[in-house]
Amino acid sequence: MTPLRDALLARIAGDEAALVGLLGDLVRAASPNPPGDTRAAAAVLTDWLSRHDVPFRVVGPDPLMPNILASFEGARPGPHLVLNGHIDTFPTVGAHRWTQDPLGGAVVDGRLYGTGSSDMKQGTASMVALFCWLYGMRDRLAGRLTLTAVSDEETFGPNGARYLVEHHAEEVLGDCLLNAEPGAPTTVRFAEKSPLWLGIDVQTMGCHGAYTHKSPSATKIAATIIEELAALEETDVPLPPAVAEAIAAGAAEIDRVHLAGAARTMGAVTLNIGTWQGGVLVNMLPGHCAIEADIRIPWGIDPDAIVERARGIVSRHEGATLRVLSKQSPRWSDPAHPMVGHIQRNAEAVAGWSVRPIPSLAGTDSRLWRERGVPAFTYGTTATNVAMPDENTDVAEWMKVVRIHALSALDYLTKETDR
């Protein structure tokens, strides 16, 4: 341990109670997306930054969805590290089934409960606090540190991180991104599959339900299309060697964290029919049906090739049309990047955790940095009951992750002779 690391750890220890209070306040400031109004939650974070005399800006195209942007230069030239977390949450699910107030932010038996407490207000609070701690040490750091606390992540919308990388690229792209989405503190995620979202509409004449000879059924056609789309899941995937090796090496931990079958799913094309809308009355033959398909594309697959295969399936059915709702190419960062090494060493030192670099099943804002060639890594707490009743964060585990975030960022921004 060195004086600078000792000073940082001492500062974290002194702020621990306040940090738990920050997370509680953040949970109590509801920010479900949709509808996406994050003003109250953003104000909790900007108040914290202001109390610590840290300069920041609020930017974004929609005043209901503010993004917090802050940056400072260290004392010497060095790399540019970007910290990222999001302010919005999923809407509260099954409020009547919670044992705690979904917006209470209460700590019960060492766990802080509430909508977004896991995904990802704990991580965003960690990033904001970390930025403040390192701002106070800026005369000892090399390079630059930037904070991006964003809105509009849960729906992959245009008003959050996407807006920042498109309109403030010179400030936010940097040399490396550290994102604090939850997953498991025994894994650091260096890649994620890309969502391909397709809309499929089926239009027929429709008629009275007793006269099925008069018109094809739009819902039956849609059901057949769904069955045929399932063939996409059999796509042969030529994974890049580094990704394949990471999945193989981490398979046991991947399946432990995400349940059996997760490691196989990571390297496969998957299909989920997210929405289905068809029919008006039980005694009317449907003349219209619309479905939305969420296809997750692994590395080594061109999403355009999947689109063309899906289009070929849909085109075989009269009255059916396909629309591409969203499409991205999957990207991955080097699992041997120095940031991964910093996280692994600090996780072992702080908590005795052996951390494996793995891809991610779910999407995060990290993908937006990877699309622009910036190495991006996600490290966070255990994702507990995300988008479920009694979502919560283990406070003791979170405090260990906070320290790992802080020490890893310090390592990245400190020259070897100054550590």
Interatomic CA distance for residues 40 and 20, integer angstroms: 18
Residue type (1 letter), 263: A
Q: Which of 68, 31, 27 is nearest to 49 (CA)?
A: 68
Whether the CA torsion 108, 111, 115, 121 is positive or negative: it is positive
| Residue keyed to tokens 């738990």 | 20
The strand order across the sheet containing 320-326 reads 270-278, 288-297, 194-203, 320-326
Which residues are 148's β-sheet partners? Answer: 69, 84
Structure confidence at residue 415 (pLDDT): 62
Write the pLDDT tens digit of every residue in 218-240. Answer: 999 999 999 999 999 999 999 99
- Name the amino acid, one letter, at 41: A
Distance CA 308, CA 314 (A): 10
Question: For position 132, what pLDDT does the model report?
Answer: 98
Name the CA radius of gyration of the chain, rounded. Answer: 23
What are the beta bridge partners of residue 376?
Answer: 177
pTM: 0.92
Where the chain has pLDDT below 50, the residues are: 416-419
Report the distance separating Cα 220 and Cα 222, nearest Å: 5
Tell me how far the alpha carbon of residue 308 is from its chain's centroid. Answer: 28
Cβ neighbors of 398 (< 8 A, separation 6 or more) are: 23, 112, 122, 126, 381
Comparing C-alpha atoms, which of 288, 154, 171, 169 is closest to residue 221?
288
For residue 31, report the phi and psi dihedrals to the nearest 5 degrees: -145, 50
Q: What is the dihedral of CA 47, 159, 194, 229, to 10 degrees?
A: 130
| Rounded (5°) CA angle 57-32-257 | 100
DSSP summary character for residue 117:
I
Of 177, 180, 166, the C-alpha closest to 144 is 177
Instruction: Catalogue all structural domains in the chain, each as residue range(s) with its CATH number.
Output: 3-192+331-418 (3.40.630.10), 194-326 (3.30.70.360)
Q: State residue 416's pLDDT score.
A: 45
Task: Report which of 57, 61, 55 is spatially closest to residue 42, judged by C-alpha positions.
Answer: 57
Q: What is residue 195's DSSP assignment? A: E
pLDDT at 418: 43
- Count Cα atoms within 13 angstroms, Cβ side, for 330: 32
Q: Which two tokens stand for residue 199?
A: 């809309």
Which amino acid belongs to residue 373? G
Cα(302)–Cα(155) distance, rounded to whole angstroms? 23
